[in-house]
């Protein structure tokens, strides 16, 4: 028989598993950052830099002592690595073997990559890295090799990305925001488990990893943007339910899956006073329908929409407070003037201006904005508009 959770309990469970809102500053910030990545399973990497980039922003939202250099350190120490989750991501090294099925599928041609496969160019790119050591795409421009025309950045970058996605190369480090590639055997520590999981083991991993990080979920959500996984995930979830490895939970009018041990989070209080300013690519937000059902929050990243279709701004950041998503803030860190500009600020119906609830939120918002301004290396804050 399934356990029934109130909407508030369901949100509480999700937020505890997502490590939101942030607790006190940790004594060992680097260890705390690694623990966060291991709990979340991945942190999405994105190129948009209107404010601090998504991977740094997501970690800072949960670790007040986080600074971008920590991720560089963890990558250099081979405690995390870059690969593909549902998008480009930083993942914990303990999950490395579960990236192997995708790599094998791309290498065998079973799964297509975005680019056409130029095998000759890929062999030559791989050989250069083998001989010269770690390289990035720009290192192939202006090559004096016989077919110099093929070494301009675009085809070389495509070859590098193909080799990366099929597992021949790994990201050794970042130089600025550019990936520096090296041979996998020179990057991967020798004690890492590289056994290829079978299909059922992979499905179990996806289910347990997703439910551990998100509290409750549907089997299909565990395979978000992964091809041809839905049927197997459903079958394996059924086996795990029969074995007592999963339980069914009723919340928001739907049945969800959960790990039995995760339900213990409901016995812990959830910090509610702190305002958390989240990245649009935050792990909490990435599945839109899920946020509608569990948080009554319809969120879309509007930077990909034409200007006339935007309601909340180019890069609107959701704000979490009191266990709910209560506002959206479109802002930009203007680096030249060290100014954090708030271009639009919109409250959700949960907050009514003039109410006690709004007054409590507004007081905490000031603290959050000061912290966010400093995180973005800005020295002043400018409000341009707000609604209401």
The pLDDT tens digits for 212-243 are: 999 999 999 999 988 889 999 999 999 999 99
pTM above 0.85, yes or no: yes
Average pLDDT over residues 188-202: 97
Instruction: Tell me which of 318 and 302 has the higher pLDDT.
Output: 318
Determine how many CB atoms are found less than 10 A away from the CB of residue 314.
18
Judged against a pLDDT cut of 50, whether residue 183 lies above it is answered with yes
Reported as a pLDDT band with limits 50, 70 and 90, residue 115 is confident
The pLDDT tens digits for 22-71 are: 988 899 999 999 999 999 999 999 999 999 999 999 999 999 999 999 99
The pLDDT tens digits for 334-381 are: 999 999 999 999 999 999 999 999 999 999 999 999 999 999 999 999
Do the beta carbons of residue 183 and residue 130 sit within 8 Å? yes
Distance between CA atoms of 33 and 59, rounded to whole angstroms? 7
DSSP annotation string for 288-325: HHHHHHHH------GGGS-GGG-SS-TTEEEEEETTEE
Average pLDDT over residues 251-256: 96
Helix (H) or strand (E) holding 341: strand 339-347
Judged against a pLDDT cut of 70, whether residue 327 lies above it is answered with yes
Residue 334 tokens, joined: 């203007």
DSSP annotation string for 226-284: -TT-HHHHHHHHHHHHHTTSSEEEEETTEEEEE-GGGGGGGGSPPP-SS-EE--TT-TT
Helix (H) or strand (E) holding 75: helix 69-76
What was the pLDDT predicted at 384?
A: 87
Distance between CA atoms of 19 and 15, rounded to whole angstroms? 6
**Domain positions in the chain:** 99-187, 276-383
Distance between CA atoms of 271 and 364, rounded to whole angstroms? 13
| 80-84 and 88-92 beta bridge pairing | antiparallel
Secondary-structure breakdown of the chain: helix, strand, coil percentages, each rounded to the nearest 5? 45, 20, 40
Range 99-187 has CATH code 1.10.405 = no
What was the pLDDT predicted at 388?
A: 58
What was the pLDDT predicted at 386?
A: 64
- Contacts by 192-197, CB closer than 8 A, 24 or more apart: 192/93, 192/96, 192/97, 193/96, 193/97, 194/96, 194/97, 194/100, 195/97, 196/97, 196/100, 196/101, 196/104, 197/97, 197/98, 197/100, 197/101
DSSP annotation string for 199-225: HHHHHHHHHHHHHHHHSSB-HHHHTTT
Reported as a pLDDT band with limits 50, 70 and 90, residue 90 is very high
Residue in this structure with the two tokens 């639009």, named with its chain if needed: 344
């Amino acid at each position: 028989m399934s356990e029934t959770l109130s909407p508030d309990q369901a949100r509480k469970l999700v937020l505890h598993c997502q490590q939101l809102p942030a607790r006190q500053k940790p004594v060992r910030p680097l260890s705390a950052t690694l623990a966060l990545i291991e709990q979340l399973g991945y942190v999405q990497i994105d190129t948009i830099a209107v404010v601090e980039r998504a991977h740094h922003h997501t970690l800072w939202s949960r670790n007040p002592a986080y600074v971008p250099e920590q991720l560089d350190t963890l990558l250099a120490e081979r405690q995390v690595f870059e690969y593909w989750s549902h998008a480009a991501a930083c993942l914990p090294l303990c999950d490395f073997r579960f990236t192997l099925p995708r790599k094998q599928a791309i290498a065998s041609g079973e799964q297509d990559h975005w680019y056409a496969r130029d095998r000759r160019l890929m062999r030559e790119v791989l050989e250069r890295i083998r001989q010269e050591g770690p390289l990035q795409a720009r290192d192939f421009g202006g090559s004096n090799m016989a077919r110099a025309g093929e070494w301009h950045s675009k085809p070389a970058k495509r070859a590098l990305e193909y080799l990366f996605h099929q597992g021949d190369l790994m990201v050794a480090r970042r130089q600025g925001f550019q990936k520096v590639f090296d041979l996998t055997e020179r990057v991967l520590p020798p004690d890492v488990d590289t056994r290829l999981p079978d299909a059922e083991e992979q499905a179990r991993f996806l289910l347990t990893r997703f439910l551990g990080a998100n509290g409750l979920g549907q089997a299909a959500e565990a395979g978000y943007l992964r091809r041809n996984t839905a049927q197997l995930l459903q079958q394996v979830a059924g086996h795990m339910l029969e074995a007592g490895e999963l339980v069914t939970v009723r919340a928001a009018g739907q049945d969800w899956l959960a790990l039995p041990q995760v339900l213990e989070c409901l016995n812990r209080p959830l910090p509610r006073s702190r305002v958390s300013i989240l990245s649009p690519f935050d792990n909490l937000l990435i599945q839109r329908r899920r946020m509608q059902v569990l948080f009554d929050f319809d969120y879309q990243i509007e930077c990909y929409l034409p200007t006339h279709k935007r309601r909340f701004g180019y890069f609107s950041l959701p704000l979490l407070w009191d266990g709910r998503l209560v506002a959206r803030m479109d802002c930009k860190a203007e680096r030249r003037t060290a100014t954090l500009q708030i271009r639009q600020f919109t409250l959700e119906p949960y907050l009514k201006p003039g109410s006690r609830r709004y007054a409590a939120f507004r007081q905490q918002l000031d603290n959050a904005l000061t912290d966010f301004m400093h995180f973005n290396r800005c020295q002043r804050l400018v409000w341009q508009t707000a609604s209401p």
